[in-house]
A and B are shown apart, each in its own frame.
Chain A
C-alpha cells in the first residue's frame, strides 16, 4: 500500500527493546492529548490518551508522559514487538473544541 512513512523521523529498535517516541505539541492551552498508531494502508488506531491534569498514564505495554512546562509528550512502548512497527502520531485538543491537531508522525521499525 501507499507509504505514509516518507520523510518521517524514524526510530529503529530491536525486538524486546523499549521504545520511546517523542512529540512536541504546539498549543500551551491544549488539555487533551492522544497517541495514534497507523499501520501501512490503514486508518489511525487509538492507543492511549491523557488529560493535562495528569503527568503519566499507563496502558497495556504503553505509557504516555506529559510535560506541560516544555510542551512535550512521549509514548513509551515496553518490550517492543514486530507488530508495533507503524507510524505513530500525537494529537492535541482543547476541551470544548471538537477538533484535534495532529503532529507529523514518527515511524517505528522493529527488527526481529
Chain B
C-alpha cells in the first residue's frame, strides 16, 4: 500500500490564482480529511468526508472547496488564492468509526506559498 499520497509537494501561486491539491488513499478508508498547518501551530481541519458524495466543513473552510466522487480521492480546491492561505496542507484518511478506531493516517503534505 502506498497509503495517502498528495500532489504537488510544493507550489507557488499568485494572488487570485486557483489550484487543486490532490489526495489519494489506497487503504479503502471511508473517511478523509484536509488540514492546514501554519508555522509553529497545530493542525486545523478545513473539510472532511465520511464517504463518497458526502462532505462537511471543518474549523477553517472559508476559501476552500472539496468534492468526493470516489472512495479513493479527495481533492481540495482553492478558487482565489490569498496570502493567508500560505501554509502546509495535509490530507488524512481513517477507518469508519464502526471499525472501532479513529486513527488518522497522513500524507506527506503540500507546501503552498501565495505571493
Is A6 an interface residue, CB under 8 A from the partner?
yes
The total of Cβ contacts below 8 Å across the A-B interface reads 69
Cβ distance B97 to chain A, nearest Cβ, rounded Å: 6
Per-residue interface assignment for chain B, residues 4 to 28, with 1 indicating a CB less than 8 Å from any chain A CB and 0 otherwise: 1000000000000000000000000
Majority SS of interface residues in chain B? strand
Cβ–Cβ contact B103 & A43, under 8 A: no
A6-B39, A46-B103, A93-B102 known; A99+B45 contact, CB < 8 A: yes
Q: Is the CB of B31 closer than 8 A to any CB of chain A?
A: yes
B-contact 0/1 string along A10-37, CB 8 Å cutoff: 0000000000000000000000101010
Chain B residues in 8 Å Cβ range of A43: 4, 90, 92, 106-109
Known: A95-B97, A98-B97, A99-B58. A6 touches B88 (CB 8 A): no
Which residues of chain B have C-beta atoms less than 8 A from A44's C-beta?
43, 90, 106
Interface extent on B, as a size class? Answer: 20 to 34
**Could you list which residues of chain B lie within 8 angstroms of chain A, going by C-beta atoms?**
4, 31, 33, 37, 39-45, 48, 50, 58, 88, 90, 92, 94, 97, 101-109, 111
A interface residues (Cβ-Cβ under 8 A, vs B): 1-8, 32, 34, 36, 41-46, 49, 89, 93, 95-100, 102-105
